[in-house]
């Protein structure tokens, strides 16, 4: 069942005049791969990466997610080359809090010096005077949220906001307790955690954030480096004459109105396939089948 939409409608970040279409784009996959080092170095085809970004924006995407530690520096430099001078309505969301070692490992970078340098790296490589939204990424665990106070680094980020270098602040890889702590320090406009059809530990958190009008931005909405695989998902997709990945994205858009999507790809063809998910409406009886998966089928 296909119904025309405008990239699944828009969402206004709380306390701001920033409205973004709910189907956005994540730039992580624009970086390359060097041996076992993922998201490292330039892509194999820089021109294709540029084409992906331009095609996304031409299609109505006005929310691009990035980080200067992708590459490092690579994705931001490609974004600048592809899209600068930037459209007035384009919102670029970046992240701080992680760094890369020479062997490609992801490590915390949360000191005052690290965060200040990261803001200036993002400004320089994106070619901007101020960053639209900056997510502070918690690093108590690299691969998922873990408890611990984020007061110190968030206070630094709030100071950089007060200096006019950052407009709005979000969080990434965080727990409900960390979000509550953060909201005592600065207004939080979005939360970015891992969430998809089979990784649903944030179900209650999404609903709580929706009540407060805060955006929830799932990373790895299609499973990340190991794409989602589910017999139920495949059967539903066949019945809807869509791909399993389109159904997984459409399910997220229908899951809650505060969910913003940032599926990533380095292929124009794959980008266009993802964007078509914004036109897919899943009937209620089919949604219930997808809802029932809820982690019973594991991502492989």
The catalytic position among 70, 86, 195, 216 is 70
Residue given tokens 């873990």 in the structure block: 146
Q: Does the annotation count 70 as an active-site position?
A: yes
| Cα within 13 Å of Cα(153), Cβ side | 30
The encoded tokens of residue 193 equal 């955690």
Structural element, H or E, at residue 203 = helix 203-211
DSSP 261: B
Nearest by Cα to 74 from 116, 46, 113: 46
- Spell out a b/e string for 271-288, using b for 16 or more CB atoms within 10 Å of the CB, else e: bebbbbbbbbebeeebbe
DSSP 76: H
- Tell me the catalytic residues: 70
């Amino acid at each position: 069942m296909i119904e025309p939409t405008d990239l699944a409608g828009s969402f206004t970040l709380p306390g701001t005049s920033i409205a973004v279409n709910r189907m956005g784009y994540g730039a992580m996959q624009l970086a390359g791969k060097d041996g076992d080092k993922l998201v490292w170095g330039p892509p194999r085809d820089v021109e294709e990466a540029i084409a992906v970004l331009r095609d996304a924006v031409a299609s109505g995407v006005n929310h691009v997610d990035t980080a200067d530690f992708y590459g490092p520096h690579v994705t931001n430099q490609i974004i600048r080359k592809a899209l600068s001078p930037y459209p007035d309505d384009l919102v670029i969301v970046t992240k701080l809090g992680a760094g890369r070692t020479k062997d490609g490992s992801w490590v915390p970078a949360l000191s005052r010096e690290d965060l200040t340098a990261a803001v200036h790296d993002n400004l320089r490589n994106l070619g901007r005077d101020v960053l639209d939204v900056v997510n502070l990424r918690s690093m108590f665990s690299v691969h998922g949220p873990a408890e611990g106070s984020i007061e110190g680094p968030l206070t630094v980020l709030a100071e950089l906001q007060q200096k006019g270098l950052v407009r709005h602040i979000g969080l990434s890889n965080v727990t409900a307790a960390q979000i509550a702590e953060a909201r005592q320090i600065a207004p939080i406009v979005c939360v970015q955690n891992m969430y998809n059809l089979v990784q649903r530990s944030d179900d209650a958190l999404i609903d709580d954030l929706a009540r407060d009008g805060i955006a929830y931005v799932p990373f790895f909405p299609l499973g990340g480096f190991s794409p989602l695989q589910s017999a139920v998902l495949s059967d539903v997709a066949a019945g809807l004459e869509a791909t399993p990945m389109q159904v997984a994205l459409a399910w997220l858009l229908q899951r809650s109105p505060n969910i913003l999507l940032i599926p990533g790809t380095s292929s124009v063809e794959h980008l266009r396939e993802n964007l078509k998910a914004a036109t897919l409406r899943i009937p209620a009886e089919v949604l219930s089948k997808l809802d029932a998966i809820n982690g019973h089928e594991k991502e492989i």
